[in-house]
Structure 1
Amino acid sequence: MKRAPIRVDAVLVQAVIAGALSFAHLHDLAAAAGQTGWKAWAYPVSVDLLLVAAWHRLRTLRAAGVSARSAWTWFTVALAASLGANVATAGLLDLGDVPDWLRILVAGWPALAFLGGTLLAHTPAPTAEPTTAAADPVESPAVETVVEPDDTAELEPEPAPVPALPAVEPDPATEPSPVPPAVAVPPALVAHARKVADDHHSRTGSPIDTDTLRARLGVPPQMADAIAAQLAV
């Protein structure tokens, strides 16, 4: 089995070189400000860790759509500390005689870095609000009624034929009017119509009529009648 050839990533090499140079500059500045021994090596680690933590927190907040002002603040602080150390060791300052204000900044950095790291690490993570979707009504499956033939029906005698009566035409005056077909009304529309009816009753003091309800909802007359019937229940 052949192994894939190892390719050198130029971006990664550049990042390692830049990180090593920045690390060395921070160490030299801390040592010149009176932080000797292991303390001088801890300063670069503290600055770089705060920079990475702020950047990670910044990306998390931006992905969640939350304000990332606090993360930007600590990212700027860590970047200013790293950039300031790089510029200060370029010959602008005499590292053999560091000014007092720089000694104060270097000595106060641990407390500032501890505060920033604590706020970035222990701030509760933003949570997206769950979206509740309206559940679609589940239609019950139609049950088909199967009528089994009765075996005893074969034993019963057939009834005698009944003479056919003359057909009587129905009187149009007495014939009942056809019942209009039932109109299916969505539950959401009924709930909205109930709010409209309650608002009309609160403003006028009288229940809403069918014509006004149809005009407010913009539905056909048959659906308005069906909605009014459900509101009356």
Structure 2
Amino acid sequence: MARLALRIDAVLVQAVIAGALSFAHLHDLADAAGQNGWKAWAYPVSVDLLLVAAWRRLRSDGPSRLAWCWFLIALFASLGANIATAGFLNLTHPPALLRLGIAGWPALAFLGGTLLAHSTRHETPAPPAPTALAPEPDRKPEPAPPPTPEAVTADAQDDAPALPEAVATPAMPVPAALVDHARKVAEAHQARTGSPIDTDTLRVRLGVPPHLADAIAAQLT
């Protein structure tokens, strides 16, 4: 546990020393390029923040061209300041290209920070994997229910041959004299009783069989 704590402290100390040296080099370079006062201290803060933002974007969203581009730009600015302050450039009379780069850095850093903070990564969603359809179990045909008595009776009636229609029997011919006599008997009966004569009374008065009485009564109506 003690060795682990010592190792963590050493890493932190090393990070603080490296950050302080890089911070100082960036300050000296900006001050040599004509950025005096608080502006010289703002340049190293801007470079380090852009470097941290690009690295965080790489860690959270994965590798992308945007994050790698701004990470390399911030890393180049930090390393360039460290190398420039090592005696490779005359900081007493800095070149015009260095002054141009220092003057344009705030706009470049603002653009990079805005793109890293507000741009979203567009990824095409993978199509869903097709789900395997479970085979349907073999289903045996269910037996048909037994026919009900009503259905059997209806089927039997449907299958039964149609009976021939009854042939209408022709009306029995009645002599005209018998019809006239029956009419007189019926009129006399109605005059006496006030109601029309029925077939049975007419058959008794005329003394004829029932079928002949029916035929006579049919002609009287």
Q: What TM-score results when the alignment is normalised by the length of structure 2? A: 0.54
Corresponding residue for 1:57?
57
- 2:59 partner letter: R
Deviation at 1:134, TM superposition (A): 9.4
1:93-132 alignment runs, 5 A limit = 93-124=89-120
2:81 corresponds, among 71, 78, 85, to: 85
Which one has a bigger Cα radius of gyration?
A: 2
1:9 and 1:131 map into 2 onto residues whose CA distance is: 48
Q: Report the 3-state secondary structure (helix = DSSP H, G, I; strand = E; otherwise coil) of the residue aligned with 1:9.
A: helix
Q: Report the 3-state secondary structure (helix = DSSP H, G, I; strand = E; otherwise coil) of the residue aligned with 2:80.
A: helix
2:82 and 2:72 map into 1 onto residues whose CA distance is: 15
Deviation at 1:223, TM superposition (A): 3.6
Unaligned runs of 5+ in 1: 1-5, 136-185, 191-221, 227-233
1:46 and 1:73 map into 2 onto residues whose CA distance is: 16
Corresponding residue for 1:25?
25
2:44 and 2:80 map into 1 onto residues whose CA distance is: 12
2:124 and 2:20 map into 1 onto residues whose CA distance is: 39
Distance 1:187 1:14, change over 3 A: closer
Contact persistence 1:29–1:85 (CA under 8 A): yes
- 2:41 partner letter: W
Deviations 1:41-87 (A, max 9, x none): 0000000000000000011122xxxx511100000000000000000
2:93 and 2:140 map into 1 onto residues whose CA distance is: 94
Deviation at 1:124, TM superposition (A): 2.5
Deviations 1:15-60 (A, max 9, x none): 0000000000000000000000100000000000000000000111
Q: Report the 3-state secondary structure (helix = DSSP H, G, I; strand = E; otherwise coil) of the residue aligned with 1:53.
A: helix
The alignment of Structure 1 onto Structure 2 pairs a total of residues equal to 136
2:28 and 2:18 map into 1 onto residues whose CA distance is: 15
Corresponding residue for 2:40?
40
Deviations 1:176-219 (A, max 9, x none): xxxxxxxxxx96546xxxxxxxxxxxxxxxxxxxxxxxxxxxxx
Q: Report the 3-state secondary structure (helix = DSSP H, G, I; strand = E; otherwise coil) of the residue aligned with 2:93.
A: coil
